[in-house]
Amino acid sequence: MSDEAKRKPAKRPRAEMPCQDPAERVRNFNEVALGYDEELAVAEAERCLSCKDSKCRDGCPVDVDISGFIAKIRDRDFRGAYEAIKGTNSLPAICGRVCPQETQCEAKCLLGRKGEPIAIGRLERFAADWAMSQGKDRPADIKPNGRRVAIVGSGPAGLTCAGDLAKKGYEVTIFEALHAPGGVLVYGIPEFRLPKRIVAEEIDNLRALGVNIQCDVVVGRTITVDELFDEGYDAVFLGTGAGLPMFMNIPGETLNGVYSANEFLTRTNLMKAYLFPEWDTPIKVGRRVAVVGAGNVAMDSVRCAKRLGAEEAIIVYRRSEAEMPARLEEVHHAKEEGVIFHTLTNPVRILGDEKGWVCGLECLRMELGEPDDSGRRRPIPVKGSEFVLEVDTVVMALGTTPNPLVSQTTPGLEVNRWGCLVTRDEDGLTTRDLVWAAGDAVTGAATVILAMGGGKKAAAAIDRVLRG
Amino acid sequence: MFEILKKRDLTPVTKLFVVEAPLVARKARPGQFVIVRVTESGERIPLTIADYDAGAGTVTIVVQEVGLTSRLVGALGEGERILDFVGPLGRPAPLTDRGPVVLVGGGFGVAPIYPIAKVLKTKGVKVISIIGARTKDLLILEEEMRSVSDELLVATDDGSKGHKGFVTDVLKQLIESGREIEEVIAIGPMVMMRAVSRTTEPYKLRTLVSLDPIMVDGTGMCGACRCTVGGEVKFACVDGPIFDAHQVDFDEAVRRGHMYDAEQKLALAKLEVAATGGRGGCACGGGR
Ligand SMILES: Cc1cc2nc3c(=O)[nH]c(=O)nc-3n(C[C@H](O)[C@H](O)[C@H](O)COP(=O)(O)OP(=O)(O)OC[C@H]3O[C@@H](n4cnc5c(N)ncnc54)[C@H](O)[C@@H]3O)c2cc1C
Ligand SMILES: Cc1cc2nc3c(=O)[nH]c(=O)nc-3n(C[C@H](O)[C@H](O)[C@H](O)COP(=O)(O)OP(=O)(O)OC[C@H]3O[C@@H](n4cnc5c(N)ncnc54)[C@H](O)[C@@H]3O)c2cc1C
Ligand code: SF4
Ligand code: SF4
Ligand code: FES
């Protein structure tokens, strides 16, 4: 192909992602983004410049060979593309769907300087979905090395660490507090964004590698880290996430009808309250629902509320739209679905009726002042601007911190002032020998791909140390 | 795992199960609870540990059938398995070395009182137990309680056994009689615990209760179980479930317990349809 012909497709806009129609999808929990077909994927792959010094790769926390796998899609070698991604990313079907690409790989793409960056996430998802449609991964040939590692928590950090160690011949057991493995991937992120069959498939792949998963074990209660060592584990990896919900500590937070986003999403996703009464766990969604916050968790909550039948689903956020931490795509999808955004609005009080149910959310209007520590302009209240949003359900999506159950029951395991586990090196070694940690438990609430990257590093370090 | 080794019908609506759960048994302490789930599409419900035997690897639970899930649990038989059985959750009851301690158990609440009495007894603490129910046939674990109490007092609402009236009447008489009492621990329906709290408050008598708010995970992850204690919001599953009664906002706790009244009726209706269609005869023992 001449240089000329190679360059041309780059000028095209990126291939649109086929999506379920907004009017239709607010009435179901099926996946919103339908995925590229082969033709769309090849067309999008053709736009890639296959840069020698590909900047996109620097934006990926797990160093996916982006230009390499895209070239293979362009050449219709879909299996090869999948394997190229799998080289460094063990959960591509998940990352392709939930990575905040616009701040990671796609943010660095050369094409993004003038036009639209390559849709790297969508292509990654395509390759992974294609491979899944072709049947199971062939289980690798594994020689057991006789050493045992306990993994605490089955979120992306734990799953990745477990997979890497199992491939190296370790006997790996994952201990999970809930009745189903997957962490936030199953209890937090909704079906319409990440179908649970995909998570289940990835977990099956791990089981095929010989990983043993024990649900219903709360480490710190059912068994302690020290007892795991007593049981003969040679090392322990903590991927316990950041599951403790924060509240605002404003009046009215214990009224009936106030949820933490964790409870709202766990009832909806893990317990499938959207199928109540066919499934047994109920959820209460009023006619007007306010979700406080504007991260991924808030977007997921507000879009669930809409699907659960709320007539009005409202985001209440104290900063402006530019500061919203959610993935762009989620904000865009939420808007398409009719979610109402009250930005520069801060709740000060939840109002209740005579029976103790929520009947309103009193808010203050805000304006943006000087930038704060995070570099974002600080919101300051406008005096006398109180007003009441009439709502009957309030969901607090303000962020989460790590659960102290493990640190409180493990002598010598240090946490910092935010409750995050202290690590002694890049690999996630904690202040206890032979105990590593990664993911949200170390960083505080972050991303799937960072948790995976951390789990990977820890696996490599565990292998180095245990081999001596 | 989680096989039911023994089942005993304590009353038509109250069932005792001895469950094989070695990891839970090894760590269990009085005051802690487990969360169970019995079907793939089922709800998670908390049940207090009513006894445990680390050697045998068993945990005893007592369930009172009130709604859908508790009935599904109650319908299980020996040899069947409980799908999920996770614990021990919550903080163990803080047990004093100084007696006498008055233990008050109402309804199914007698079951969680039992391991507390047992441990106090082995510590040599004097235990006076007051157990109650609506009527004689609903009274549970009387013999077991007698064996671990220095004194056992019984109350039934209808007077079919022991004192006619509430456990709080008996408690009040006990206090008024001038007997030495170090502290009171009361477990039972929220309204009973509120009544006990109101009874002991004027005497500034240290009183502990075990709150039973609606829960989901039981590990501090969801906040469903929050309650106000001493003006602060606490998560009962990790900060409790046992709290200083005089600090608890009972009205709020009772109110939060009604969050899903409408949905619970719906769920039960589903079960009744299934029961009349399927197994023949209603499993319902008359509800509460
Ligand atoms: C609603 C929501 C939406 C999100 N959306 C995105 C997104 O679009 N893109 C993105 O990149 N990130 C997103 N995130 C963030 C991302 O999901 C997390 O950063 C990531 O899941 C962290 O992984 P982890 O393995 O550290 O922990 P988690 O996924 O939190 O998993 C931790 C696991 O450990 C278990 N556990 C905890 N304590 C114990 C214990 N004591 N014993 C046994 N098990 C224990 C927990 O039950 C849980 O299963 C979202 C988060 C939420 C809540
Ligand atoms: C720490 C704790 C210990 C408990 N110990 C026992 C025990 O030893 N024996 C016993 O019989 N019961 C116990 N309970 C109460 C028991 O969990 C509820 O009766 C049960 O959840 C009812 O479920 P259901 O579907 O049968 O009834 P539903 O019809 O759903 O509800 C009936 C009542 O139970 C309450 N309830 C409903 N769902 C939950 C839930 N997920 N968590 C807590 N309460 C709920 C409701 O507020 C309502 O008042 C305990 C509760 C807690 C929190
Ligand atoms: S893993 Fe995430 S950041 Fe890395 S290339 Fe894939 S989508 Fe981009
Ligand atoms: S920077 Fe963009 S155009 Fe260049 S290789 Fe990466 S994805 Fe392709
Ligand atoms: S039950 Fe979820 S935090 Fe207590």
How do residues A259-285 score in pLDDT, each as one tens digit? 999 999 999 999 999 989 888 889 999
For residues B275 and B281, the answer to whether their CB atoms sit within 8 Å is: yes
Q: Are A329 and A285 in contact (CB under 8 A)?
A: no
pLDDT band at B152 (very low <50, low <70, confident <90, very high): very high
Q: Is B32 in the pocket of ligand 2 (CB under 6 A)?
A: no
Mean pLDDT of A131-140: 79
pTM: 0.91
Mean pLDDT across the stretch A422-430? 93
- Is residue A381 classed as helix, strand or coil in its secondary structure? strand
- Distance (Å) from the alpha carbon of B199 to chain A's nearest alpha carbon: 26
Percentage of chain A exceeding pLDDT 90: 75
Q: Choose which residue among B60, B70, B187 to substitute to test ligand 2 binding: the one with the highest number of ligand atoms within 8 A of its C-beta.
A: B70
What number is the average pLDDT over the span A426-454? 94
Mean local confidence (pLDDT), A291-309: 95
The full set of domain ranges for chain B reads 2-89, 101-210+245-256
Query: Residue B286: what residue type?
Result: G
Residue-level pLDDT at B285: 38
Looking at residue A135, what is its pLDDT? 80
Task: Average the pLDDT over each of A312-316, A350-354, B98-102 and give the range with the smallest value.
Answer: B98-102
pLDDT at B99 over 90: no
Give the pLDDT confidence of B10-53 residue by residue, as tens digits: 988 999 999 999 999 999 999 999 999 999 899 999 999 999 99
Q: Does B224 touch chain A (CB under 8 A)?
A: yes
Is the pLDDT score of B267 beyond 90?
A: no
Q: Comparing C-alpha atoms, which of B232, B268, B262, B263 is closest to residue B248? A: B232
B22 cis-preceded (ω within 30 degrees of 0): no
- Count of alpha carbons within 13 angstroms of residue A379, beta-carbon side: 17
Per-residue model confidence (pLDDT) at position A371: 86
Q: Would the CB atoms of B223 and A262 count as touching at under 8 Å?
A: yes
Q: End-to-end CA distance of chain A: give it in Å, rounded.
A: 51
- Rounded Cα distance between A306 and A289, Å, is 9
Distance CA A395, CA A389 (A): 14
| Facing residue for B84 by CB, picked from A216, A276, A356 | A216
**Residue of B138 and A7 predicted with greater confidence:** B138
Closest Cβ opposite residue B42 in set A256, A262, A280: A280
Confidence band of A316 (pLDDT split at 50, 70, 90): very high
Q: Is A263 close to B223, i.e. CB distance below 8 A?
A: yes
For range B180-206, the mean pLDDT:
93
pLDDT of residue B1: 80
pLDDT score of A398 more than 90? yes
Residue nearest to ligand 4 atom 1, measured at CA: A109
Is the pLDDT at B273 greater than 90? The verdict is no
Nearest CA in chain B to A253: B233
Beta-carbon separation of A247 and B27 below 8 A: no
Q: Are the beta carbons of B220 and A244 separated by less than 8 Å?
A: yes
What's the pLDDT band for B198 if we cut at 50, 70, 90?
very high
What's chain B's average pLDDT? 90
Which residue spans within B232-281 are E strands per DSSP? 232-235, 242-244
**Span A51-57, mean pLDDT?**
90
When CB atoms are compared, the residue of A179, A253, A272 closest to B37 is: A179
DSSP B218-229: SSSSS-TTEEEE
**Å between A231 CA and nearest CA of chain B:** 12
Instruction: Report the pLDDT averaged over residues B75-79.
Output: 92
Model confidence at A113: pLDDT above 90: no
Give the DSSP letter string of A303-335: HHHHHTT-SEEEEE-SS-GGG--S-HHHHHHHH
| CATH class of this structure's domain B101-210+245-256 | alpha beta
Whole-angstrom Cα Rg for chain A: 23
Q: How confident is the model at residue A328 (pLDDT cuts 50, 70, 90)?
A: confident
Instruction: Write the residue with the smallest CA distance to atom 48 of ligand 1.
Output: A183
- Checking if the pLDDT of B276 tops 70, the result is no
Helix (H) or strand (E) holding A23: helix A22-25
User: B102: Cβ–Cβ under 8 A, 6 or more apart, which residues?
Assistant: B128, B129, B130, B171, B174, B181, B183, B184, B185
pLDDT tier for residue B282 given thresholds of 50, 70 and 90:
very low
CATH architecture of the domain formed by B2-89: Beta Barrel (2.40)
CB A369, CB A378: distance < 8 Å: yes
Residues 34-63 (B) with a CB less than 8 A from some CB of A:
37, 39, 41-44
pLDDT value of residue A376 = 81
CB B43 within 8 A of CB B69: yes
Which of A179, A245, A257 faces B222 most closely, judged by CB atoms? A245
Q: What residues form DSSP beta bridges with B233?
A: B228
Looking at per-residue pLDDT, the higher value among A2 and A75 belongs to: A75
Beta-ladder partners of A291: A315, A395
Answer whether B256 sits within 8 Å of A222, measured CB to CB. Answer: no
Q: In a 10 Å sphere around its CB, with 0-12 CB exposed, 13-18 middle and 19+ buried, how is residue B34 labelled? A: buried
| DSSP states along B54-86 | TTTTEEEEEEE--SHHHHHHHT--TT-B-SEEE
Q: How big is the CA angle at A116 (ends A115 and A120), to the nearest 5 degrees?
A: 145
- The yes-or-no verdict on residue A235 having pLDDT over 70 is yes
Whether the CA torsion B247, B249, B253, B254 is positive or negative: it is positive
Dist CA A286 CA A55 (whole Å): 47
For residue B272, the model assigns a pLDDT of: 75
Mean pLDDT value of segment A100-114:
90
Q: What is the ipTM of this complex?
A: 0.90
Over chain A, what is the mean pLDDT? 92
Highest mean pLDDT among A326-330, A411-415, B278-282: A411-415
Residue B275 has pLDDT above 80, yes or no: no
User: Which token pair is A84?
Assistant: 């190229």
How far apart, in whole angstroms, are the C-alpha atoms of residue A140 and residue A175? 23
Average confidence (pLDDT) over A173-177 = 97
Instruction: Give strand pairing partners of A256.
Output: A357
Dist CA A116 CA B41 (whole Å): 44
Sheet arrangement for strand A312-316: A258-260, A393-396, A288-292, A312-316, A340-342
Q: Is A248 on the interface with B (CB under 8 A)?
A: no
pLDDT score at A77: 95
- Judged against a pLDDT cut of 50, whether residue B286 lies above it is answered with no
CA A394, CA A257: separation in Å to the nearest integer? 6
pLDDT higher at B278 or A168: A168
Q: Which residues line ligand 1 (CB under 6 A)?
A: A 98-100, 152-158, 175-178, 183-184, 188-189, 217-220, 239-241, 243, 265, 296-297, 300, 327, 403, 405-406, 439-441, 445-449, 451
- The stretch A376-382 carries a mean pLDDT of 88
Residue among B170, B167, B125 at smallest CA distance from B150: B125
**Under a CB-based contact definition with an 8 Å cutoff, are residues B100 and B72 in contact?**
no
Residue B133 has pLDDT above 70, yes or no: yes
Count of all residues that appear for chain B in the document: 288
pLDDT score of A2 more than 50: no
Split at pLDDT 50, 70, 90, the class of B274 is low
Can you tell me whether residue A250 is helix, strand or coil?
coil
Percentage of chain B modeled with pLDDT above 90:
71
The alpha carbon dihedral of A417, A422, A424, A427 has a sign of negative
The answer to whether residue A369 scores a pLDDT higher than 90 is no
What is the mean pLDDT of the segment spanning A386-406? 94
Q: What pLDDT is attached to residue B178? A: 85
Kindly list the protein residues whose Cβ atom lies closer than 6 A to any atom of ligand 5.
Answer: B 215-218, 220-225, 235, 237
The structure tokens 């507090």 sit at A177
